[in-house]
Amino acid sequence: MTGSERDPYLSVKHQAVEQASRCRSFRPDVEEEWVSDEPVSCLNCYFRRWTRDSFHCMAGKPETTD
């Protein structure tokens, strides 16, 4: 059993790092908002928006100000 099978968050964390390293839109959020130890991670991106279960990437989508 791998570490990511024991802890599903590890798998998400690794995927977020891989995707962010390939993303042209990645922009780090303010450090106080970071949730990962890896600086370049979707989990630490300015364009990530949290949902109840996960997050969505909002890069390239118009910002709404309600």
What's the pLDDT score for residue 21? 97
For residue 17, give its domain range: 3-57
5 vs 48, more confident: 48
- Residue 5 or 32, more confident: 32
Distance CA 54, CA 60 (A): 19
Phi and psi dihedrals of 27, rounded to 5?
A: -140, 120
Nearest-angstrom CA–CA distance, 27 and 44: 8
Distances (CA, A) of 44 to 5, 6, 21, 25, 52: 23, 23, 12, 13, 17
Residue at 20 is within a domain: yes
Is residue 24 assigned to a domain? yes
Mean pLDDT on 9-34: 93
Q: Is residue 42 part of a domain?
A: yes
Asked whether residue 64 is domain-assigned, the answer is: no
Given this model, what pLDDT does residue 12 score?
85
pLDDT at 16 over 70: yes
For the chain, the domain total comes to 1
